[in-house]
Each structure stands twice: as C-alpha cells, then as structure tokens.
Structure 1
Amino acid sequence: MIKKIMSLYQNSILFPSKPENPSDRYLYFCSEAEEEWIGIPKTELNEREVSLLKTLYSLVEFQNSSLPPTVKVWHDFLYSNGPLPNHLAGNTLRIIQFNINGAETNQPEIESALKGFFTEDIMIIWESGSRGIVIEEKNTMALSEEEILSMSETLESDFYVKISFYIGKPSGFTEQLPSKFLQEKEYFSFAVSRMGQSNIFTFERVFPAYLAFHLPLELKNKVSQEIVELFKEDHEVFATIKVFLENNLNASMTAKKLYIHRNTLQYRIDKFIEKSGISLKDFYGAFTVFLACLLYEQQK
C-alpha cells in the first residue's frame, strides 16, 4: 500500500527503517504493519491529504537535539533501538499513550496539565505535535481507569480538544520493553482510527475488535451472517445489545446509558433472543454475539 502512495507523490522517498537524517521539508509517515517509512514533501500535501494519510499511517514528527538528556535517552531507547537508560533494573513501568484530536495543540500547557493529575514525577515524551506518551514507575501508578477517563474529560473541557488514552500493561524494565511498547502502539493506532468513539483504551478493550478486524473474510461471514442481518433490520436492537454486553449484562446500567426505561430494554433484548435463538446469559452465546457486534460495526 505504501508503495502505491509513492506513485501519487513523485518526490516522495521510501525508507526501509526510521530515517536517520530527517529533513524539515518532509512529512514522515510510518506503516507499522509493513515496517516501512515514507517521506513526502510538505509542498505536495494539502490539509485534507495529510488528514487522510494520518488515518492510514502514523505521522511522526522528529524530535530535535534540544531534548532534555533524560528524555532523549528514553526516546532513543523506545523508538530508535538505543541503549537501556540508566535506570534501576527490575522496576516496573507503565506507559500511557495519548492522542490529541482538535485545534492547534499547546504542548507546554497540556504537558503541565497532565503532570498536575499525577501525584509523583512522570516523564512525558512527545512523538509529534498531537501524540505522546507518559512513563510512570510502579510507585506512581496512582490513577485508575476511571480517574484517567475523568482526566480526559477535564482536558477536553479546558483545551477544547478530544484526548484519547491507551493505558499500557505494567512491564518490567528490560530490553524487551521497546518491542512491547511498539505492540501497544499498534493497538492504539488501530483504536484511534477504528474505535474513535471512546476516550480510554486498554488491551482488553481493543484486542477483541483488533482480532475481529483481522479475521479472514470466510470466518467473518460464518460468524456474523445471520446475526448481522438482524442488526441491519433494526439498528436500535444492535446498539442496545452491544451496550448491554459491554456493561456485563447489567440492565440498570445499560438502561441508564441508553436513556431508556428498563421495560424497553428488556423488550429489545427479548426480541433479539427470540429472533436469533441465542441466549445472552450464556457465556458462549454472549461471546458470539459480541463478536458479531464488532464485525457489524466494522462493516459500517
């Protein structure tokens, strides 16, 4: 795919790995799946084309040499196969990725706001003007998923931007950390482009949709054919069933989130069960229907 993009921009450059001497005259896009990089002259791109390319690939804005020494060491370690930073071996780290979608990003103000939500010192590394990571050690992992969601909503209100977070798994400080981080980056890129309605992502939330997306077409059809037809007939039932499953079959919470009466909720659930013949109270039935929900959503 990335080679086809090159045919549209005559002066673009293909790189087999991360460019060592990037020019400020180019925008650089990375295909994480194909492990290839392409540089396109800024003069050949308009805003719409940049936005389109960002949905397909990761736009990487290279950091300059003015990075603080500690940040630069970590940046090289995670992104450029650099040596291990001078860090206490055995410590547990968590990397939280963030992506900002909105007007022009004021990095210093957003960075200051992010640090204000954490109780201890953290390290923030910017990948680009709108994307970065927060590195926290074990003793600073104070924010729960609910608190990070609240932080996202506060930042959205204060800065008029949508900011999404991917909460990485705690990981030991080893040479394998960059490869684990790159895998989480792939999940986050998928989530931002395919699951944009949410502000908080984790492996558990992203992987089912990631798996459904990468299923062979033959399996997709076998899993979803009959159920998807029901969803096509009644989108309201689809939305209800998906929220019901996402909320662990909790009727009260589902009705509250959908702003409907519990009787209305039960009517829609019964209607689906009657037509599909699948019980949602059974784990295997719920799993199959949820997978069908993901496939139907991706088809749309």
Structure 2
Amino acid sequence: MFKKIMSLYEDSVLFSEKPLHISNQFHLFYDQSENQWLAIPKSKLTEKEFNLLQVLYQQVNIPSKPFGKWYEFLMVDGPLPTSSTDSNFRIIQFHIKGNVEQDEIESALNGFFSNEVQYIWEDSQNGCVIEEKRQISLSESELASISDTLESDFYVKISFYIGKLFPLSNQLPNQYRQEKEYFQFAKSHLSGSNTFTFEKVFPPFVAANLPNHIKEKLYKDFLEVFLDDPELYVTIKVFLESNLNASMTAKKLYIHRNTLQYRLDKFIDKTGVQLKDFYGAFTVFLACLLFQHDN
C-alpha cells in the first residue's frame, strides 16, 4: 500500500529499515504489516490527509539532524548544491547486507574513490556516492572487485547501481529517483551480480512490466519450450548473453561445441526462430527475461 501512497506524493521516500535520522521537512509513517517506513514531505499533505494517515498508520518521530546540500537537493527539492552547473555528475547507489558502521564504509570507499566525493545515507543499509565527471575513474568491473573486497574485510555483502552521467540541473532529483526504482527492482529480481547498470536492469525491467496480453503471446511461442526443457533455457540464455559466441558459451556451460550446436538446433526446430538474426535474438532474449522473472 505504501508504494501506491508514495505515487501520490512527489518526493516521498520509502525505507525497508527504520531510518536513523530524517529531515524535519518530512512526516514518517510505519506500516507494521509490511515492515516499511514512508517519509512524506509535510508540504505535500493537507491537514485532512495527515489525520487520515495517522489513523491508518503509526506516525514515527525520529530526531532530525542537519543534512548536507546534496541530501536536501535530491530528497526534498532543495536548491542546487553547487555553482558548477557546467559539470556532469553520476550517482552510484549502494546497498549493504549486514551490520557495519557508516564511518567504516566511507573510510573504506575513500580508498577507492576520490576524497572529494559526497556521501548520502538514507538509512543504515542504503546510500549513494556522488561523483563529478572529472573525478570518475572506476569502471563496472572495478566496482565489482570493490564489492568483493568489502565483503571479505567487513563480512557484509554490498551491491552497487552505477548511475548515468547527468548535468547538474533541477531535473537531477527526478533522474535519481528513476535510478532508485531500477536499483530496487534489481535487488528484488536479479541475482548473480553485485553491480548493476541501466543497460543490465532495463531489459528485465521491461519484461517484468509487459502487459499481460503480450506476456501470453511470449508464453505461447517460447515459454512452454523452456518449461519442458529447463536445460535448453539455460543454454539459450547463456548463448545470448555471450553475444552469440559459441566458444564462450560452451566454455561457460562446460560442454562440447557439438553439444551446444545440437541444443541450438533443437531450439530452432521447436520454435522456428533463428538466433543469429538480430530480431530473432532480441525476441528470444525478451522471452528468457520474462521466464526468469516469473520462475
């Protein structure tokens, strides 16, 4: 229910853990059945709406503290945090599974990032790093290595969503909220990776949000084949994710290339779709993502 309420009030923030602090510009409500907290800007609520929410949910009072300019800008429509409007920024979100002090995480991350980056914490497990374009140096593979290093050092799991470069403007908070939605989807539905990007998340995000009548067409043409032969599904998905490279696919699956070719031919015979055609590969990959999401 909180997600529906959140859609009604711009700049609302949903927490999966009780936040340690919150701006005094928000009302915070707790849904015991979902174990979630929703912060709604006071300016967005009428007195009648506020009273109704108090009846439906528990209002939580948390000590406020002074927040940085970036927090105010991204979370509560504050003013631009810097005068460098000719520069671009990217926001790298992170999620931590486990207990660790915020200062320890920041200190560890500073060993990889520039000391000039900005940190924002939403709660004890979720935050982000804000980088200016001239400071950017870490690639996706390097962030994956950082995740592995922090896991071994602190015995916690940390995942990253690497945002795109955006110019500093009043549109940046909305772009950040959209990337938060992608990261939330990735944490809930995608496994096997500790780093995510728009390119990785958006295709399965689209597949999960297809209208039912489109899903039914894909089920009819492909998904029954995957249900009858799960091994064939894995083979096709790895083949597509390996850029249609047979040698790489066979190596990943620990099978002979002849075995791989047999499975590919079997899929083509069953579906009538050619995999080495761009449009065929795209359609089948979409079906693979939908099958993965629903199963």
TM-score, normalising length from structure 1?
A: 0.78
CA distance in 1, matches of 2:283, 2:172: 34
Are the equivalent residues in 2 in contact too, given 1:2–1:38 (CA < 8 A)? no
Equivalent of residue 128 in structure 2, options 133, 145, 149: 133
CA distance in 1, matches of 2:118, 2:11: 23
Whether 2:230 is the aligned partner of 1:235: answer: yes
Cα distance change, pair 264–106 in 1 and its aligned pair in 2 (3 A): farther
- The residue aligned with 1:264 is 259
Per-residue deviation, 1:121: 2.4
Cα distance change, pair 163–186 in 1 and its aligned pair in 2 (3 A): same
Q: For residue 298 of structure 1, what is the amino acid of its counterpart?
A: H
Per-residue deviation, 1:66: 4.8
Secondary structure at 1:197 match in 2: coil
- The residue aligned with 1:34 is none
Count of paired positions:
263
Secondary structure at 2:119 match in 1: strand
- The residue aligned with 1:92 is 88
Secondary structure at 2:159 match in 1: strand
- The residue aligned with 1:191 is 186
Question: What is the percentage of aligned positions where both structures have the same residue?
Answer: 53
Q: For residue 162 of structure 1, what is the amino acid of its counterpart?
A: K
CA distance in 2, matches of 1:137, 1:259: 43
CA distance in 2, matches of 1:269, 1:145: 31
CA distance in 2, matches of 1:140, 1:203: 21
- The residue aligned with 2:2 is 2
Q: Deviations over 1:181-228 (max 9, x none)?
A: 111111111111111332111111111111111111001111232210
Equivalent of residue 82 in structure 1, options 72, 78, 83: 78
Q: Deviations over 1:144-188 (max 9, x none)?
A: 111111112222222222211111110101111111111111111
- The residue aligned with 2:279 is 284
CA distance in 2, matches of 1:63, 1:295: 44
Secondary structure at 1:117 match in 2: coil
Q: Structure 1 stretches of 5 or more lacking a match?
A: 7-14, 21-25, 29-36
Q: For residue 247 of structure 2, what is the amino acid of its counterpart?
A: S
CA distance in 2, matches of 1:181, 1:63: 25
Per-residue deviation, 1:123: 1.2
Q: Structure 2 stretches of 5 or more lacking a match?
A: 20-26, 40-60
Whether 2:30 is the aligned partner of 1:40: answer: yes
Secondary structure at 1:228 match in 2: helix
Q: Deviations over 1:1-40 (max 9, x none)?
A: 3399x9xxxxxxxx946689xxxxx947xxxxxxxx9722
CA distance in 2, matches of 1:27, 1:79: 17
CA distance in 2, matches of 1:202, 1:282: 26
Per-residue deviation, 1:235: 0.9
Secondary structure at 2:111 match in 1: helix
Q: For residue 87 of structure 1, what is the amino acid of its counterpart?
A: S
Are the equivalent residues in 2 in contact too, given 1:240–1:265 (CA < 8 A)? yes
Are the equivalent residues in 1 in contact too, given 2:18–2:123 (CA < 8 A)? no
Q: Deviations over 1:37-56 (max 9, x none)?
A: 97227xx57xxx64xx59xx
Whether 2:94 is the aligned partner of 1:104: answer: no
- The residue aligned with 2:24 is none
- The residue aligned with 1:10 is none
Q: For residue 259 of structure 2, what is the amino acid of its counterpart?
A: T
CA distance in 2, matches of 1:247, 1:263: 17
CA distance in 2, matches of 1:122, 1:195: 28
TM-score, normalising length from structure 2?
A: 0.80
Are the equivalent residues in 2 in contact too, given 1:62–1:128 (CA < 8 A)? no
